[in-house]
Amino acid sequence: MNIRKVSTTPFSDQKPGTSGLRKAVKPFQQPHYLENFIQSIFDSVGELQGQTLVLGGDGRYYNRQAIQIILKMAAANGIGLIKVGQGGILSTPATSAIIRKYQAIGGIILSASHNPGGPNGDFGVKYNIGNGGPAPEKVTEAIYDRSKVIDSYQILEAPDVDLETLGESHLGETVVEVIDSVQDYQELMESLFDFDRIQQLLTSGNFRIGIDALHAVAGPYAHAIFEKRLGAPKGTVRNGTPLEDFGGGHPDPNLVYAHELVDILYGDNAPDFGAAFDGDGDRNMILGRKFFVTPSDSLAILAANAKLVPGYSSGLAGVARSMPTSQAVDRVAAQMGIESYETPTGWKFFGNLLDAGKATLCGEESFGTSSNHIREKDGVWAVLFWLNILAERQQSVEEIVREHWQTYGRNYYSRHDYEGIEIEPANTLIARLDSLLPTLKGKQFGNYQVEYSDDFSYTDPVDGSISEKQGIRIGFTDGSRIVVRLSGTGTQGATLRVYIESYEADPAKHNLDPQEALASLIAIVEEIAQIRELTGREQPTVIT
């Protein structure tokens, strides 16, 4: 077998975004495109000789072909051992867990997360570093810089690897180990949660759950853990086989795209608990019977009840949330006497806090929650956490949430997404808002007076690094706020995200629909940002 050095020329569009390089499938299928980016990773992450690399993806279209290319390139670049998921399948949280367990140099995750799949869908490549977390900006910048000047890549001439059979084989001097996709991850979950107590709940006959994996990577994990290990009836997990096009669906666990599950939980004879996961298994949606739990509330409730769970029974060092996430968890932290950190959007910003022992739980409003057990969001973990709490408290999801509001008050919260809008008007809208920021303080909009307005800047408390222009914030004197930012996870046009939040302490006012409770703030957003006028959109694509 020979190592081939292939001459190439750079592509100008290989700058990683919030979670790696995401494009439509077709650009990745261009000659040299994937290879250039992979070689840029290998050229940027340090000494590779004899190191261990973890490799897998969410099963979307082009996953298998890309894995074969990466295996041969990793071998040509001197990697000693590659742990690859059976069938090329590894969830993002499982990849993080395996990197940490086996002290790998890092991992390559093939996913575009919650974006659609299939030949006309999206594809993505993300590099995670040795702590199991997404590469920080200094690493992604180095990869991008390398991609702009790359002139060759190395690849081994060899037959494809059998990805179906567990065990070891060789690519030249490199050992390729096809591993059970679930085993290491499940062992980690069993070390954190009271599986016996959860099993009692799920087999009691008095508590039913429904899980929707949306034909994405979490399916095998959900089948193995909820049905086989914890005893939930067969059929509890819906859409549990990963498909290259996610069954034609959109693997984003929200009220719009997981509507089949929502219909079940809001229908007659609904289960007691429901959950859905995204493409790569790191996001989660939590539902009770006819009751939706916002991701912001979910994070706050997990923090408030953490001592009920074995892995967190000694308490939390601190909590962290992304800036657009509601301030509900801050109220829990204040009562517990622990620090609450506010970071930019992007899981990589939690890594330093977790590594330094400053935070234990962290979360984002975009349906992502996790802890210091790995360095990624973790959908199945979040569901197990909820089930452990439910098993201990013996209350319904709705009862637990309403009790939480009575104790801490309710942060009414909603996110309005305008997907696939044209980039130019989106940029114009943000630039116009930015220019207004210095003029807004003290202005009155209805009953709301502006207390501050800025473009969020974050100074990392661990390494002192500064991240600027992370989202426009307009805060009011009563604690309400509006946040506007462009998302970095889409591949088509621009996605404008608008976040609206207000706090209500009075339990008598905790039963409003969030859109009703936030109606005056939503009108203020339109007045200030002129979304309809600048984008032509009459209403959001998705409201959560």
Catalytic residues: 113
CB 314 within 8 A of CB 384: no
Distance in angstroms (rounded) separating the CA atoms of residues 97 and 101: 6
Q: Provide the pairing of β-strand 318-322 with 339-343.
A: parallel
Q: What's the burial of 533, exposed, middle or buried (CB within 10 Å: 0-12/13-18/19+)? A: exposed
Residue type, 106: G
Q: List C-alpha distances in Å: 402 to 166, 411, 468, 507.
A: 47, 12, 37, 9
Distance in angstroms (rounded) separating the CA atoms of residues 487 and 113: 14
Strand residues in 157-235 grouped as ranges (E): 167-171, 174-179, 209-212
Residue 80: φ, ψ to 5°: -85, -40
* CA–CA–CA angle 153, 154, 159 (5° rounding): 130
The single residue listed with the structure tokens 């996110």 is: 415
* Chain centroid to CA 17: 14
Q: Which residues pair with 3 in a beta bridge?
A: 156
Please report, for the chain, how many H helices and E strands are present, in that order.
18, 27
Q: Provide the pairing of β-strand 448-455 with 291-293.
A: unpaired
Distance in angstroms (rounded) separating the CA atoms of residues 543 and 78: 48
CB 57 within 8 A of CB 70: no
CB neighbour list of residue 413: distance below 8 Å, 6 or more residues apart: 294, 296, 297, 326, 328, 365, 499, 500, 501, 514, 518
Q: List C-alpha distances in Å: 124 to 74, 248, 418, 449, 481.
A: 18, 18, 22, 43, 33
Q: List C-alpha distances in Å: 134 to 64, 347, 415, 462.
A: 22, 7, 25, 17
CB 296 within 8 A of CB 409: no
First CA to last CA distance, the chain: 53
DSSP per position, 512-543 = S-HHHHTHHHHHHHHHHH-HHHHH--SS-SEE
Q: Provide the pairing of β-strand 52-57 with 106-110.
A: parallel
Distance in angstroms (rounded) separating the CA atoms of residues 235 and 72: 39
User: Which helix (H) or strand (E) segment is 110 a member of?
Assistant: strand 106-110
Longest dimension (CA), the chain: 73
HEC secondary structure over 181-195: CCHHHHHHHHHHCCH
